[in-house]
């Protein structure tokens, strides 16, 4: 009886083990199958939006209680790397134009010294060359042992979406003006003919601009904000570790021993803001966005995906149907709740009819927004553009925009600040990109 009991117990253990394995093996097999279904192993590069910061900067923690731009207090770069998706996080000029940011992004990926272009730099009165970077992927654009070009997937949030679009256009078509001015000394970025980008994904990006940036005097407001940041950081050792404004090309860095008055005066009168279009405020406005749309085209050998966000609802006491912040979606901003509510209400009621503008009519179709960007602007470039934008049907189409749909979250939620589903969303996105054919 004792032996029979032992065998009975052993049988029970075997049965339990078998049942356990039957539960776990299918999921393990599914995971292995999913990894085998990858068609490419191109790295992902994340590009932040206006006012963004790098992974090693402390600004996010101080201002938003969010250490990482991508993920809040969860590092999306490492999370994706842990799951086999090689990922890098760029840190470009938080207040710079899309042109300058694209030049910096190129250098950060490829390595080398930032070249803003001779013609561009002369036009806007700043230095041609910037910082030097080691490069995430020095072999970017080269052929591997099988003869395939080593490409990347670019993901941009907010202004970062405009920036990665511009980079893809420069690589593909180059700049005739820069080639004419620089001749043999032109940067490879402006030479054109480079099919180095597998996909571009934009999240809550103002492809047609945001009416929030159309407020008169936005440039000056940005200049004052920059001066305030610069003056505060100017007294802190290693200030770039707190927040690096990356405007070396304009000389906008508080000098040792420089008084606050002199620094403020220098910033406010900088060519970056004085009758200049080489800054984030211009590019984010509806006029500047359309100017970019006229020449930044979807490249035929690149996949384009776009996501839109919506965090407002109709104002119940508005006869016109104005939009206001949905407290369930935007009421988690703590000290910034009033700011977000004001921004959402402004965009949710702003309208104009001015046929001298790049976008002549702003009407109720522009009122739904995510607190920073009008939702209608986020699906892709419409005004000034010939790009094709179609709703995603499950099969990615190359050379045009695949609009993935609207998420009912706000502008920050999609990058993981206050949305629990953000990490899963990024993993799903990375998985989809890995399944694109080489």
Residue 216, pLDDT score:
73
Q: What percent of the chain clears pLDDT 70, i.e. is strictly above it? A: 85
Q: 373: closest CA among 436, 329, 424, 312?
A: 312
Catalytic residue among 370, 387, 410, 413: 370
pLDDT digits (tens, 9 = 90+) for 158-203: 999 999 999 999 999 999 999 999 999 999 999 999 999 999 999 9
Q: Can you give the pTM of this predicted structure?
A: 0.89
What is the rounded distance in angstroms from the CA atom of residue 106 to the CA atom of residue 131? 12
d(CA 111, CA 395): 34
C-alpha to C-alpha distance for 150 and 15, rounded to whole angstroms: 49
Tell me the DSSP string of 352-391.
EE-TTSSS-EE-GGG--BSSSSBGGGSS---TT----EEE
The predicted structure's pLDDT at residue 273: 72
Cβ contacts of residue 188 below 8 Å, gap of 6+?
Answer: 194
Output the CA–CA distances (angstroms, integers) from residue 88 to 20, 42, 56, 144, 266, in the order listed: 38, 11, 13, 20, 35
Mean pLDDT of 52-72: 91
**β 323-325/312-314 pair status:** antiparallel
C-alpha span between 217 and 50 (Å, rounded): 17
Average pLDDT over residues 6-10: 40
Q: How far apart are the first and last CA of the chain?
A: 65
Q: Is 370 a catalytic residue?
A: yes
- Quick one: average pLDDT of 407-420? 96
Confidence class of residue 309 from pLDDT cuts 50, 70 and 90?
Answer: very high
**Mean per-residue pLDDT for 327-337?**
93
Mean pLDDT over residues 123-147, rounded? 95
Q: Specify whether 411 is catalytic.
A: yes
**Mean pLDDT of the chain, nearest integer:** 88
- What pLDDT is attached to residue 245? 85
Q: How far apart are CA 396 and CA 169, in angstroms?
A: 20
CATH number of 44-434: 3.40.50.300, 3.40.50.1820, 3.40.50.2300, 2.40.50.140? 3.40.50.1820
> Mind giving me the DSSP string for 223-274?
HHHHHHHHHHHTTSTTGGGT-----GGGT-SPPTT--HHHHHHHHHT-TTTT
Measure the CA–CA gap between 82 and 248, rounded to whole angstroms. Answer: 35
15 or 396: which carries more pLDDT confidence?
Answer: 396
Residue 51 above 60 pLDDT?
yes
Q: What is the pLDDT of residue 225?
A: 62
Q: For tokens 């093996």, name the residue.
A: 25
> Residue 146: left (phi > 0), alpha (psi -120 to 50), or beta?
alpha
Name the nearest CA neighbour of 264 among 272, 256, 254, 249. 254
Three-state DSSP state, 3: helix
* Helix H or strand E segment including 430: helix 422-434
- How high is the pLDDT of residue 21? 34
pLDDT at 206: 98
Instruction: Give the tens place of pLDDT for each residue, 238-271.
Output: 666 788 889 899 988 777 787 767 776 777 777 7
Of the candidates 153, 194, 207, 411, the residue annotated as catalytic is: 411
Question: Would you place residue 364 in the very low, low, confident or very high pLDDT band (cuts 50, 70, 90)?
Answer: very high
Choosing from 158, 205, 270, 379, the catalytic residue is 158
């Amino acid at each position: 009886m004792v032996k029979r009991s032992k065998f009975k117990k052993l049988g029970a253990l075997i049965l339990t083990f078998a049942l356990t394995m039957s539960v776990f093996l299918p999921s393990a097999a599914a995971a292995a199958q999913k990894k085998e279904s990858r068609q490419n192993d191109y790295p992902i590069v994340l590009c932040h939006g206006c006012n963004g910061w790098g992974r090693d900067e402390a600004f996010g923690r101080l201002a938003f209680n969010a250490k990482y731009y991508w993920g809040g207090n969860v590092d999306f770069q490492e999370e994706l790397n842990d799951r086999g998706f090689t990922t890098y996080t760029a840190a470009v000029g938080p207040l710079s134009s899309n042109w300058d940011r694209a030049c910096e992004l190129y250098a950060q990926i490829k390595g080398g010294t930032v070249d803003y272009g001779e013609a561009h730099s002369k036009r806007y009165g700043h230095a041609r060359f910037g910082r030097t970077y080691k490069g995430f992927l020095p072999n970017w654009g080269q052929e591997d042992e099988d003869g395939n070009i080593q490409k990347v997937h670019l993901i941009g949030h907010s202004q970062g979406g405009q920036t990665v679009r511009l980079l893809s256009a420069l690589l593909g078509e180059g700049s005739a003006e820069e080639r004419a001015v620089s001749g043999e000394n032109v940067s490879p970025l402006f030479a054109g003919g480079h099919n180095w980008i597998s996909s571009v994904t934009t999240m809550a990006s103002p492809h047609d601009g945001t009416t929030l940036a159309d407020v008169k005097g936005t440039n000056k407001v940005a200049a004052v904000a920059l001066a305030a940041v610069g003056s505060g950081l100017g007294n802190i050792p290693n200030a770039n570790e707190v927040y690096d404004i990356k405007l070396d090309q304009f000389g906008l860095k508080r000098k040792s021993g420089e008084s606050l008055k002199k620094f403020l005066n220098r910033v406010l009168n900088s060519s970056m803001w004085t009758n200049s279009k080489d800054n984030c405020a211009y590019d984010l406005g509806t006029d500047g966005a359309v100017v970019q749309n006229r020449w930044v085209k979807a490249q035929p050998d690149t996949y384009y995906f776009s996501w839109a966000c919506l965090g407002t609802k109709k104002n119940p006491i508005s006869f016109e149907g104005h939009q206001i912040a949905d407290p369930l979606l935007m009421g988690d901003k703590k000290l910034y709740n009033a700011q977000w509510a004001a921004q959402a209400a402004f965009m949710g009621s702003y309208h104009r009819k001015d046929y001298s503008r790049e976008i002549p009519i702003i009407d109720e179709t522009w009122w739904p927004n995510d607190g920073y960007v009008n939702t209608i602007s986020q699906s892709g470039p419409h005004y000034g553009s010939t790009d094709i934008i179609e709703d995603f049907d499950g099969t990615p189409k190359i050379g045009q925009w695949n609009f993935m749909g609207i998420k009912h979250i706000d502008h920050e939620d999609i990058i993981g600040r206050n949305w629990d589903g953000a990490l899963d969303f990024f993993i799903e996105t990375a998985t989809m990109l890995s399944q694109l054919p080489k």
